Structure 1
Amino acid sequence: MTKRTLFALLAALALGGALLATPERTGTATAAPDSRAMTGTTEGTTYVFRVPIDGPDRAQDLLRRGFDVLEQRQGDDLFVLGDAATQRKLHSAGFQAEVDSVLPEPQWEPPRKRDSNETRGASDIDETYYGGYPTVNAHYAHLDKVAADHPDLATVVTYGQSWRKANGDRRGYDLKAICITKRTGEDCQQRTDAPKPRFFLMSQVHAREITTGVMSWRWIDHLVGNYAGNAEVKSLLDTTEIWVVPIGNPDGVDIVQQNGNSPLLQRKNANTSNGNCTGTQIGIDLNRNNGSHWGESGSSSYPCAETYRGPHADSEVENRALQSLWTKLYPDRRDGGPSVPAPADTKGLMLSMHSYSDMVLFPWAYANVRTGNDSSLRSMARDMANMMGYRYGQPPEILYAASGGHDDWTYDKLGVASFTFEIGPASGSCGGFLPRYGCQDGFWNKVRPALMYAAKKAKSPYGGGSDPGDPPDCSATAWQSSQLYHPRSVVSHDGSEWRSTWYAWPGDEPGVASVWERTGPC
């Protein structure tokens, strides 16, 4: 039992010992063994370490040191991926690091190695790894088939090259997108005065986040497969261009898929020109490399760090290609400092999918300051989070500050409403970076309505989210930051009702601290 939990228990006993004597309270107070009590580690095993953080400055110190900090936060705790040596380094740097979970080694046979990824055949659409996850070539064969089967709806676009291909390595890939709409002569052209608003979705910028590529695949199939029989899909494609980049980091995904029973959890691209790095240490974190507040927070200058931001802003060909595509699709509608809004009539929406932690995030990510369009962005994020049962907020509010991200760049440079989904839970059989493929049905059922909502918002995103109307009758008292709450306490906070699953320490905010579970709107 941690000191914090012990103190909470003693305080609770002093405040209400008679209440704790009831059978219900006695049963609740008997906690299961806490995985955080585990301290022993074994060489060669991959762990997730729970690292208590005392304030945002300490979080930035952790990130600057180059640890593989996950997109996960519970209360004041962050989480670091690593091995026994990582735990020793954390301790040496003055951080507590207790084992939160052990990552099992997934078993899969890698796809066949190729001398070149220049060409592919129709049969490549069936190439998978780890029980069903499509390879890069499967994704690209899928795009080709969709365009061939639905020429009135879909167009494939090559918008650049990966680092390997741009540097003469035949293992590299083209960078591909697909545009889906009910086509007329002016649709799917790379021009900023397009007649239809545009919704842009991308996935697997961080290669190891393999769930996100499946979500893009299913989104594409949902649109083209339901145009004829689903009025909502038909209306969307008649009025909106949908752009999808299913694999934003194909070289990195190739590293993940090719390592079979000893997978490398590659996050970055495959750029080997910086530092003497090996394994998953090679590359640049594409989601820290964009030239929006580059290098200000949440990244490392150490080339072998998982959050290495690159030698300079926009150094990576994958990002420059994406930015070039965005500037051809969206006019620049925002100019000025962080609080300057994009005009109310700005069109378009960009959404980047990552995993994991069940979150909806929006700018600014680089610092805990609000955009000039915060009300609309926050309202839409709330709507989508409620659809999926996720938390929502700016990264510094519910995760940590990180600059150089794609959603900050598209909002900063173009004024485009931008969001990130962190898909999937942190634990359980469907948790983490490598959930079994059977988990994808559950993820898709949550994500699909939120994607439809976001795509429809592209025509007028700064009109805000849907009007929630009057909240339902709610008798729960408002959460008080100075109060200690007993297990099963019910409070209202931020438009929702919450129930505590254990003792909630003063400052444990509903929607942030894991001790609270959301029970509905309020």
Structure 2
Amino acid sequence: MAIPCLALSLGGCVGSEGPSEAEPSGAAEQDADAGQLGADPVGATMLVHVEYQTEEKLNWLVSEFDVLEHADRAKGYVAMLVEPESYERLLDEGFAVEIQHEPTEELASMVSGFRSISGYACYRTVEETATDMSTLASDYSDLVELIDIGDSWDKVTPGGSSGYDIAGMIVTNENIAGPKPRFFLMGSIHAREYATAELAIRFAEEMITNYGTDPDATWLLDNFELHVVPHANPDGRKIAEQGYTQRKNRNTSSGYCSYPPTSYSQHGVDLNRNHSFKFGGAGTSTRACNLTYRRTSASEPETQALETYMSSIFADQRGPNDNDAAPADTTGLMITLHSYSPLVLFPWSWSAAGAPNLTELRTLGRKFGYHNGYPVCQAPVCLYAASGSTDDWAYGTLGIAAFTFEVGTSFFQSCASFESTIVPDNFAALREAFKAARRPYQTPAGPDATSVAVSASSVVAGTSVTLTADIDDTRYNSNGWGSEATQNIAAARYTIDQPSWSGATTHAMAATDGTFNATTEGATTTIDTTGWTAGRYLLMVEGQDANGNWGAPSAVFLDVL
């Protein structure tokens, strides 16, 4: 049945029969561009749980409403943001709808009345992020190179706002020549997901500022490249920074949608449904104002910029058919950060069928799950289908390992929660990803080297030191979505200054208890520094399991006087 439309603060009207909302006036557009969108950005928005009985009903909900990245497959419900008219429509369609009162009240209290992201001091605006990246490039010129991968919709569309460059950084020790394995990290393709852009730039800053003092940050930036794009959707993010639940980009050409944006109707295209691989399938909408609107083709400048850039830094390593697996020695890894609902998701998103590299993707995902405690699963199996997504494009087109991290418990995550939980939980997972970037389908199957230490951090040349480490093949956790087989440790080794794959001489380590015969073992060796010249040395330790898999190295500094 048709639901009577509700008047909006700028004269718009939301109904259930497709795009019938009024386009904002020119004056309203000017106010928006000036950061003054006017009315209460949330109003009567509610967070609800909606029960569904079949996969068809779930897919219909995803294509029609603002379905969140939170679902309980066992209980058969999905979380959604709804306006009063959407709530009534769901009831008329026969769905059981349960209002989540506490989160609804929290949403209203967090958003109502503010018009600036300054209400969240831990999150940088689009402009602040760009300024800080420029400062990093100036202060750490040997480690940071600024990149511009393309333009936003506003920037390529004449007659409106000026728009933005889609800006990022390449972080690596530029004094060491490549080619080097690459890890691509991006955030905020969905504009309202505040924590994601900040987490991306924070991780880059962590690597940059700890170079030379943190052994792992040092060998990673010497030997690998980190490519970071914090704001993949800067136009949409500017709307969201004013307290609106804007998900999509700024494209105003596709319909007369609600303005200010609502959780039911807003201008733009869902960029995470607009990629060219498997475009137009399940989990997308053809209705211009819907939150998962895909448009008529993979058309948006933001998604085209992402595809062009990733194609320029990663070789195509997978065949053209859906069942073609990428080779075991594939190099390259990407993670797209989203919120909210703690999850680590891997391809496919367009289909519940397993990706050809399912085993390897699952293994690496469970490494991430060990660190951040998130369930590790395939989106159509534990959440819902989403065609045209970034991770499916990266894996499906190029064959690289690709993941989505869903972080946090809110779009407008509190700074206290962000600092105390999201950052520490995910820094370790992102570092694991960086370490795996060279061989994402091989290295994660091997054990981790942890607690790497020397008996003395600074010695006079000629002094012997003891190098120790724990070699652990148990650091996997799907958090409820299957278990990973573990193997006994078979060997451990170390190299000096260079990783083993570079051709550096490897030195065997012994089991602390005399025999490598358990899934977690101590390893030890004595290093004689006779003849070493004065300087700082990097000792890189790796472990091997009984199946022959070598894990990623971890390192410690040794200063020789």
Q: Quote the offset at 1:104 in angstroms.
A: 2.3
In 2, distance between residues paired with 1:401 and 1:170? 34
CA contact (8 A) 1:295 1:403 kept: yes
* CA 1:128–1:471: 2 relative to 1, 3 Å: closer
1:222 aligns with 2:206: yes
Residue of structure 2 in register with 1:105 after alignment: 109
Residue of structure 1 in register with 2:79 after alignment: 79
In 1, distance between residues paired with 2:385 and 2:239? 28
Q: Quote the offset at 1:337 in angstroms.
A: 2.2
Q: Secondary structure of the residue that 1:98 maps to in structure 2?
A: strand
In 2, distance between residues paired with 1:337 and 1:44? 47
Partner AA of 1:95 in structure 2: F
Q: Secondary structure of the residue that 1:367 maps to in structure 2?
A: coil
Q: Secondary structure of the residue that 2:444 maps to in structure 1?
A: coil
Q: Secondary structure of the residue that 1:106 maps to in structure 2?
A: helix
Residues 139-183 of structure 1: per-residue CA shift (max 9 Å, x gap)? 000110000000000000111110001113344111111000000
Q: Is 72-81 or 198-207 further displaced after alignment?
A: 72-81
CA contact (8 A) 1:385 1:391 kept: yes
Q: Secondary structure of the residue that 1:81 maps to in structure 2?
A: strand
In 1, distance between residues paired with 2:474 and 2:330? 29
Residue of structure 1 in register with 2:546 after alignment: none
Residues 371-399 of structure 1: per-residue CA shift (max 9 Å, x gap)? 11111100010110121111011101111
Q: Is 89-98 or 158-167 further displaced after alignment?
A: 89-98
CA contact (8 A) 1:408 1:418 kept: yes
* CA 1:492–1:244: 2 relative to 1, 3 Å: closer
Residue of structure 1 in register with 2:366 after alignment: 382
Q: Quote the offset at 1:92 in angstroms.
A: 2.2
Residue of structure 2 in register with 1:495 after alignment: 483
In 2, distance between residues paired with 1:93 and 1:151? 59
CA contact (8 A) 1:375 1:464 kept: no
Residue of structure 1 in register with 2:289 after alignment: 304
Q: Quote the offset at 1:492 in angstroms.
A: 9.0
1:285 aligns with 2:263: no
Q: Quote the offset at 1:222 in angstroms.
A: 0.2
Q: Quote the offset at 1:464 in angstroms.
A: 5.3
Pick the aligned partner of 1:447 from 420, 426, 429: 426
CA contact (8 A) 2:342 2:375 kept: yes
In 2, distance between residues paired with 1:132 and 1:154? 23
In 2, distance between residues paired with 1:440 and 1:432? 10
CA contact (8 A) 2:187 2:196 kept: yes
Residue of structure 2 in register with 1:156 after alignment: 146
User: What is the correspondence of 1:2-401 to structure 2 with a 5 Å cutoff?
Assistant: 44-64=43-63, 66-74=64-72, 75=74, 76-101=76-101, 102=104, 103-106=107-110, 109-111=114-116, 128-168=118-158, 169-184=160-175, 195-257=179-241, 259=242, 263-279=243-259, 280=261, 281-312=266-297, 314-401=298-385
Q: Quote the offset at 1:55 in angstroms.
A: 2.6
In 2, distance between residues paired with 1:243 and 1:301? 33
CA contact (8 A) 1:164 1:170 kept: yes
CA contact (8 A) 2:190 2:247 kept: yes
CA contact (8 A) 2:145 2:171 kept: yes
Partner AA of 2:483 in structure 1: G
CA contact (8 A) 1:109 1:130 kept: no
In 2, distance between residues paired with 1:170 and 1:493? 45
* CA 1:245–1:95: 2 relative to 1, 3 Å: same
Q: Quote the offset at 1:440 in angstroms.
A: 1.6
* CA 1:55–1:196: 2 relative to 1, 3 Å: same
CA contact (8 A) 1:214 1:440 kept: no
CA contact (8 A) 1:377 1:464 kept: no
In 2, distance between residues paired with 1:492 and 1:48? 25
TM-score, scaled to structure 1: 0.74
* CA 1:410–1:305: 2 relative to 1, 3 Å: same
Q: Quote the offset at 1:217 in angstroms.
A: 2.0
Residues 38-70 of structure 1: per-residue CA shift (max 9 Å, x gap)? xxxxx9322111011213222112122x20010
* CA 1:228–1:167: 2 relative to 1, 3 Å: same
Q: Quote the offset at 1:215 in angstroms.
A: 0.4
CA contact (8 A) 1:159 1:177 kept: yes
Q: Secondary structure of the residue that 1:157 maps to in structure 2?
A: strand
The answer for unaligned runs of 5 or more in structure 2 is 1-41, 448-471, 485-561
Figure out how many residues of one structure are paired with residues of the other and give that number: 402
Partner AA of 1:83 in structure 2: E
CA contact (8 A) 1:51 1:77 kept: yes
Q: Quote the offset at 1:110 in angstroms.
A: 3.5
CA contact (8 A) 1:284 1:310 kept: yes
Q: Quote the offset at 1:186 in angstroms.
A: 5.2
C-alpha root-mean-square deviation of aligned residues, in Å? Answer: 2.0
* CA 1:53–1:467: 2 relative to 1, 3 Å: farther
Residues 437-461 of structure 1: per-residue CA shift (max 9 Å, x gap)? 1222121000000000001101001
In 2, distance between residues paired with 1:422 and 1:492? 16
In 1, distance between residues paired with 2:118 and 2:288? 31
CA contact (8 A) 1:47 1:83 kept: yes
Partner AA of 2:165 in structure 1: D
* CA 1:223–1:87: 2 relative to 1, 3 Å: same
Q: Secondary structure of the residue that 1:145 maps to in structure 2?
A: helix
1:461 aligns with 2:440: yes
In 1, distance between residues paired with 2:322 and 2:53? 27
Q: Secondary structure of the residue that 1:143 maps to in structure 2?
A: helix
CA contact (8 A) 1:359 1:391 kept: yes
In 2, distance between residues paired with 1:110 and 1:155? 33
Residues 113-163 of structure 1: per-residue CA shift (max 9 Å, x gap)? xxxxxxxxxxxxxx8443332110000001100000000000001111100
Residue of structure 1 in register with 2:394 after alignment: 410
Q: Secondary structure of the residue that 2:441 maps to in structure 1?
A: helix
TM-score, scaled to structure 2: 0.69
Paired-residue identity, %? 35
* CA 1:420–1:471: 2 relative to 1, 3 Å: closer
Residue of structure 2 in register with 1:117 after alignment: none
Residues 237-280 of structure 1: per-residue CA shift (max 9 Å, x gap)? 011010000001000010011x3xxx210000000000111232
CA contact (8 A) 1:379 1:464 kept: no
In 2, distance between residues paired with 1:239 and 1:44? 51
Partner AA of 1:275 in structure 2: G
Residue of structure 1 in register with 2:19 after alignment: none
CA contact (8 A) 1:179 1:242 kept: yes
In 1, distance between residues paired with 2:480 and 2:123? 40
Q: Secondary structure of the residue that 2:79 maps to in structure 1?
A: strand
Residues 192-222 of structure 1: per-residue CA shift (max 9 Å, x gap)? xxx1010000000000000111101211110
Q: Is 331-340 or 360-369 further displaced after alignment?
A: 331-340
